[in-house]
Structure 1
Amino acid sequence: MLPPAPMSATTAGGFLLVLSIVLPVAGVLLAFALGDRYVRLVAFTIMPLGLAIAAALVLALPRGGGHLVYLLGAWPPPLGVALHADGLSAVMIAATAVVIPAVAVYAAPEFRPAAAARAPAAFWMLLLAIWGALNAIFVGGDLFTLYVALELLTFATVPLVSLDGRAETLQAALRYLLFALLGSVLYLAGTALLYGLYGALDIVLLSRRADAQLGTLIAAALMTTGLLAKTALFPLHLWLPPAHAGAPAAASAILSGLVVKGSLFIVIRLWFDVMRGLPGFAAAHVLGALGATAIIFGSVVALRQERLKLLIAYSTLAQIGYLFLMFPLAFDVSGDLKRGGALAGGVLQAISHATAKAAMFMAAGSIYAGLGHDRITGLNGVARAQPLSVLTFALGGVALMGVPPSGASLAKDLLLQAAAETEQWWWTILLQAGGVLTAAYVVLVLAHALAPPDKPIALRGAVPRICDLAALVLALCSLLLGLMPWASYLPIPQGGMSNPLGIDALSKLLLPVLGGTVLAILLSPWPHPLALNAVERMIAPLRRACLGFGRLVEAVDDVLRQWPAASMSLLLVALLLGTLMFAGA
């Protein structure tokens, strides 16, 4: 957690916070100065150094009393700007430092320097810029610094989505940019309100000064809504599926695994630090309800996708919803917001999603490169032709289901424990359903990949082994995250970490897989090898009803991804959050 009072001096090891931002930015400038020919070399020189800085920060944090501070210009807040790092910052910086080099290794064969192409040079500079912007978000100590870092993240991500220059990808990038800018306007308006009320934007100072007056509640509602738009929480997911549809696999891995975590991290800072004493109980349940809807909505639409990449994109929408269940669960029975197991579970789920989803997008990219398409019904036999890619997808999916010893399993246990302690049993149902719904689209893809092909598969080109290995490493990281000593950095309650290799691990795998198989049969409209003809005839009426429900959900999704509906949803979410906070006060 952040220090209880503003620090008057830089702490030992505080310079690591500056290095974590300066190093990627210096890499961008150096690559620009040296030219396209050396840009990839610069990136691969910077990345081991960035990983070393992240490791040093993780090791230095316990010795610094759980927080590190660096005062820019030696001026303490509110006159100066401070960089802060606590356990949440450390684990997010470490996760970013693992995912970005893995994606870089995967992307290296595709984005080789070429005399006639600017996309490779742009990719490597944008990748470093995203890394620097994310680190600035994770260590930013005041709300305006976070705004600047968030905008840098947006402007680095937009061109990454449209690297190929095709009309549809440019349209998707512009859609992302415009909606993200709407979110930025709301966030900046809230920041200006807080500065006018309290004369400070430092998070620690605001946590001590902010009270439940009308201006503060309006600012909190505006800032939260703006950040939800950038995170693509349902129903504010206008930009997410189109951005993934045509982006390179490496760009999708970064966008889904890391970029949406930047705005999520600021939401966590806003609620658990600045707004900790404000009346947010009812508003937090709205966030939880939106998250629960996203889990069901995203999973159903994912099961109806014809393309593997779009299936994973809608899976991201569902998993983002899973992250927001931490907010209502963080309130205890007396209505006070606590930095306990719910917060730890939400952050662990975010890290697990970052590694697993990046690996799944990379695996999908390898399958597309090998087959020349990613149609799910055309994947029959790909497990034999591209075993490492399919294994990576499977391990990433199993990790997201919450099977021990994955990080998602530990996160789920912490959230379930929080639900029991706060007597909010209804969230338990959603937490358990989340694993089953995740298993449904993972089982659907694997059923096709493992089925015998109708005709021999002729790969369009050989996928470099290093690409598959980079993706596999990330999937294994997600699957083994539950074995890490998280209690040193996250507020995990006593007894919150169960044995990740216990006897219940088998049941945590079998039950979601069995339930997911049933859902895949009922909700997927495409012919698949999961059901025998006799079984299909028996469940035909139920399947027709489920398919009708799926068509309805997909039609709602088509409406919500239109500008009028998305803009109205943005306004309604802001009004609802502000009204509930005001009523609570």
Structure 2
Amino acid sequence: MTASGLAALPLLELTVVLPLAGLLLALPLGHHGARATLALAPIILLVTALLCIEIMWSGAPIERVAGGWDVPLGIALRADGISGAFLLTTALVACAVAVFQAQGGQDGGATRRSTFWPLFLATWGALNAVFVSGDLFNLYVALELLTLAAVAMVAYGSTEAAMRYLLFALSGSLVFLLGVALIYAGSGTFDIGLLGSAGAGDTAMTVAAAFMTAGLLAKAALFPFHAWLPPAHGNAPTPASALLSALVVKAPFFILVRIWFDIGPETSGVLMQLLGYLGVAAILYGSLLAMRQERLKLVIAYSTVAQLGYLFLVFPLAGAAQDLPWTAGTWSGAIFHALSHALAKAALFLAAGIVIEAVGHDRLQGLAGLARDLPMTVFAFGIAAVSIMGLPPSGAFIGKYLMLTGALAGGHVFLAIVMIGGGLLAAAYLFRPLRLMLLAGETQPAKAIARRRQVVPLLLALAAVGLGIAASLPYALLQIGRSLTATEGIE
């Protein structure tokens, strides 16, 4: 198929329409919604891959206006390199989670409920809508759909955790919406492209961006707004934990990147520095808490708190001087880390789900010798852990290396030290459960788990490593439509 042939297809619209159409199809099917989801998932993956190819071939963002009206009445859709990368990663993780959970297991009760698969598809559709929305109001609508679907899935495992999540999320929504209203009052538009080219006054834009940022931090669970994340991710059913940690918390970060790098005012240096130091606190606090946990899923959940901190280092590193050569690599490094973390963290949670299914719990002290019964699962956990630590040749290594070199080039020595220290702390809290699984010891017999089920987290873990091995292609994709002007990085 040629570039013109791809351009003639409504690929951008289909990335959102297909999951939401699947939602409507799965609702009346009840627990049979798994079949509809499994039939639809590869189609969405194919559409997403073709959209990425179209973006690469065109060398420019793909823009559409849905609804039959021009902006501002029509629904503005836009997919650039970062959108394509997040869309494709979302499709890969979602397909893996769907295949994993459709085979049954410890959370089978959740999947048998008539609402699970519609909620799964709603989450997928809302994520895609966030990644392609071209205006702030539609971003808000998509984010709210994502929140409601995610909270409902958490409620399958813990009503208390779901209510805490909902409280944080709704509070964040109100503050974010206030910022959107201030933007519209000052500019008369929600369109991100128009705001980026014209913009409101610097002071008004900074105040509005500060409100939106505060609301999004609550949804992203950045320290100190992280209190909802460990109980939600640690107690949710396995597929929900994987989706939440791998994808859902990335959506607010994606919007923050749009706000600060596409439409943010130039007078926002202090706020960007603040975001960076909150990221530092998240890396240290999340890592230390992860080392103290006695449940495997809570170790992984607190790891998410820590790893999210790395993403927010991009704001002081790449935001202060966007025209310097090293800022391009720093910006791309943060996105690389986000994508690699999504793949590896989904693998960790799915592996933890298999462990719970096999032995009936996730207490660390009861996992000794588990590698004897579940070698493939433990191997997948180890590969994913290597990626989270940022060791070569994983995608996280590429991301953290680019951020580290950017920090040193920009004179941010303290941030560089924190990044290195965070990697060492990650090794400490992830090697602990891995060491226990590998040690010989008396443990209760593990239930036999089908190999086809265990292969899913292994493939995700290998994908996280493969992202680093084939780094040039995703790096080139990320440069398309990027707001920064520098281009140095991976050759």
Using the size of structure 1 for normalisation, the TM-score is: 0.78
Aligned to 1:537: none
Q: State how far apart, in whole Å, the 1-side matches of 2:325 and 2:268 are.
A: 8
SS at match of 1:423: coil
Q: Check if 1:462 corresponds to 2:448.
A: yes
Larger radius of gyration: 1
Aligned to 2:39: 45
CA distances 1:322-362 after superposition (whole Å, capped 9, x unpaired): 11111111035599899722221111111011000010011
Q: Distance in 1 between matches of 2:133 and 2:242?
A: 24
1:202 equivalent to 2:191? Answer yes
1:163 to 145, 148, 156: 156
Cα-to-partner distance string for 1:375-424 (whole Å, 9 max, x where unaligned):
11221111112111111111101011112221111101211221133222
Query: Take 1:449 and 1:151, find their aligned partners in 2: how far apart are those partners?
Result: 39
Which segments of 5 or more consecutive residues in structure 2 lack a partner in the other structure? 1-5
Shift of 1:79: 3.7
CA spacing shift, 1:38–1:23, aligned 2, 3 Å: same
By how many angstroms is 1:31 displaced? 1.4
Task: Give the counterpart letter for 2:396 in structure 1.
Answer: A
Contact 1:194–1:215 (Cα < 8 Å) also in 2: yes
1:475 equivalent in alignment to 2:480: no
Distance (whole Å) between structure 2 residues aligned to residue 338 and residue 451 of structure 1: 44
Q: Give percent identity, aligned residues only.
A: 45
Matches within 5 A, 1:108-147: 108-110=102-104, 119-147=112-140
Pair 456,438 (structure 1): closer, same or farther in 2 beyond 3 Å = closer
Mapped contact 1:111–1:119 kept (Cα < 8 A): no
Give the alignment of 1:324-339 within 5 angstroms: 324-332=312-320
- Distance change in 2, residues 1:113/1:344 (3 Å): closer
**TM superposition shift of 1:81:** 2.5
Amino acid in structure 2 at the alignment position of 1:21: V
Q: State the match for 1:299 in structure 2.
A: 287
Q: Residue 249 of structure 1: CA displacement?
A: 1.2
RMSD: 2.2
Show the counterpart of 1:231. Answer: 220
Name the CA shift for 1:247/1:37 in 2 (closer, same or farther; >3 Å). Answer: closer
Tell me, yes or no, if the aligned pair for 1:72 and 1:82 is still in contact at 8 Å. yes
CA–CA distance in structure 2, aligned partners of residues 343 and 336 of structure 1 = 11
SS state of the match for residue 7, structure 2?
coil
Q: Is the 8 A contact 1:332 1:422 kept in 2?
A: no
With structure 2 as the length reference, what TM-score do the two structures score? Answer: 0.93
The 3-state SS of whatever aligns with 2:249 is helix
| C-alpha separation in 2, matches of 1:120 and 1:260 | 25
Q: Is the 8 A contact 2:366 2:443 kept in 1?
A: no
Q: How many angstroms does 1:244 deviate by?
A: 1.9
Give 1:228's aligned amino acid.
L
State the distance in 1 between where 2:284 and 2:106 align. Answer: 40
Q: Distance in 2 between matches of 1:111 and 1:307?
A: 19
Q: Which residue of 1 aligns with 2:262?
A: 273
Describe the superposition over 1:447-473 as per-residue Cα deviations: whole angstroms up to 9, x where unpaired: 2111121x35312x3222222100110
1:257 aligns with 2:257: no
Residue type matched to 1:405 in 2? Answer: P
Query: Among 174, 180, 192, which residue is 1:185 paired with?
Result: 174
Contact 2:77 2:132 in 1 (8 A): yes
**C-alpha distance in 2 between matches for 1:270 and 1:182:** 19
Match of 2:60 in 1: 66
Gaps of 5+ in 1: 1-10, 499-585
- Hey, what's the Cα distance between the residues in 1 that align with 2:107 and 2:21? 20
Residues 152-207 of structure 1, C-alpha deviations (whole Å, 9 max, x = no match): 0001111111225xxxx111111111110000001100001111111001001011
How far apart, CA to CA, are the structure 1 residues paired with 2:404 and 2:488?
13
Aligned to 2:3: none
Partner of 1:75: 69
**1:494: how far off?**
5.8
SS in structure 2 opposite 1:321?
helix
Total equivalences in the alignment = 479
Cα distance in 1 for residues equivalent to 2:110 and 2:255: 36
Distance 2:106 2:225 in 1: 36
3-state SS of paired residue (1:370): helix
CA contact (8 A) 1:113 1:120 kept: no
In structure 2, distance between residues paired with 1:111 and 1:337: 50
